[in-house]
Amino acid sequence: MSEEEKREGGDRLKLAIQKSGRLSEGSLDLLERCGLRLRRGREQLLARIDSLPIDVLFVRDDDIVEFVEQGVCDAGIVGENVYKERYLGEGEGESLEVVRYLGFARCRLCFAARDIEEGEGVYSYMKKREQEGLGVRIATSYPRTVRSYFSDYGGVEVVTMSGAVELAPRLGIADAVVDLVSTGASMNAHGLEVGETLLRSEAVLLSGKGGVREGLVGVMEKLLCRVDGVLHARGNKYIMLHMEESRVGLLSDVIPGAESPTVLSLSGVEGIVAVHLVCHEDVFWETMEALRGLGARKILVLPIEKMMWEV
């Protein structure tokens, strides 16, 4: 970092994202969609953004919460699961807040065991163990979340592991595990049946409670406005179609929010119009079929890249 960059550092918003892992691609994609092009520094640990005074730090996801907490960074993108684990039962959550849910890196933190029936709840499993005079050792990387979830049960021992948690039962280290699951295939491959979900998680944008430092309020506002634009556009689609002019009023039965679509005449065609509208949710095949049911033809559904949409 040059002297000039160091001096400037104070006026630049520092955003921490995961260097490499399951959050990285989504985080970089979000920044790109926000129009924030990264200029990677020589050391690859820090990248400057030219269009806004933001520096991006590439770190391990486990460090992100602490960095924001200590003011090393002003904001960070991390799994909600990691944030919750850090703060459960500590009351420290006072110093940080989730400013946006980002909708990617979705996963579940689940209980899994070898001797659990499909769909069996934790309560029934624990009772069964208790009746057999057995306690339960649970291996996990999320000890606080697990202790809190199982606080009403006796005989629970938590074995903290930083990785390879699903191997613990086979190694005889634990009877059950609590770990992140997206499809459950990896658990099944290790002979474990996935049971109850303790927590659902997605990537979140964190900042200090009460917002960022005074000089950075404007930058943060701009960043959030762009993030909102991206998030908003993601769930919305642009629809174009042709239909009988007399039936345009029926569109709102099929597409919520379609009360005032743009209606364009087609040159040389009487009674048929082109309709353009924004649909505020994903468009499924059922919606397409319903549109055809209204006599719509030439239906095009397009993704929206950005949106500034005042309702």
Return the axis-axis angle of helices 24-33 and 217-234, rounded to nearest 10°.
100
Q: Which residue from 264, 193, 216, 258 is spatially nearest to 99, judged by alpha carbons?
A: 216
Q: Where are the beta strands (DSSP E) in the chain?
A: 13-18, 38-40, 46-49, 54-59, 75-79, 96-101, 107-113, 136-140, 156-160, 176-181, 193-201, 203-208, 237-244, 262-265, 272-279, 297-303
Please list the residues that pair with 76 across neighbouring strands. Answer: 16, 206
Quick check: 258 binds ligand ATP (CB under 6 A)? no
- Scanning 56-64, 131-139, 192-200, 204-212 for contacts with ligand ATP by CB under 6 A, the matching segment is 56-64
82 binds ligand ATP (CB under 6 A): yes
d(CA 207, CA 15): 9
Give least dist CB 107 to ligand ATP, A: 3
Q: Give the residue, chosen from 140, 201, 207, 236, that forms a contact with ligand ATP under the rule CB under 6 A.
A: 201
Could you say which of ligand ATP, Zn ion, none residue 120 binds, taking C-beta under 5 to 8 angstroms by partner kind?
none
The contact mask relative to ligand ATP for 7-36 (x = CB under 6 A, - = no) is: -----------x--xxx-------------
273 beta partners: 243, 265
User: By CB under 5 A, which span of 36-44, 57-65, 221-229, 247-255 interacts with Zn ion?
Assistant: 57-65
User: Which residue in 62, 120, 130, 202 binds Zn ion (CB under 5 A)?
Assistant: 62
179 touches Zn ion by CB under 5 A: no
**Cβ proximity to ligand ATP, 22 vs 276, nearer residue:** 22
Number of residues this chain uses to bind ligand ATP (CB under 6 A):
15
Q: Are 69 and 96 in contact (CB under 8 A)?
A: yes
Number of residues that bind Zn ion (CB under 5 A): 2
85 binds ligand ATP (CB under 6 A): no
User: Which of 15, 54, 105, 216 is in the footprint of ligand ATP by CB under 6 A?
Assistant: 105
Q: Is 271 left (phi over 0), alpha (psi -120 to 50) or beta?
A: left
Q: Nearest-5° angle of CA 196, CA 198, CA 200?
A: 110
Binding site for ligand ATP (CB under 6 A): 18, 21-23, 60-62, 79, 81-82, 105, 107, 180, 182, 201
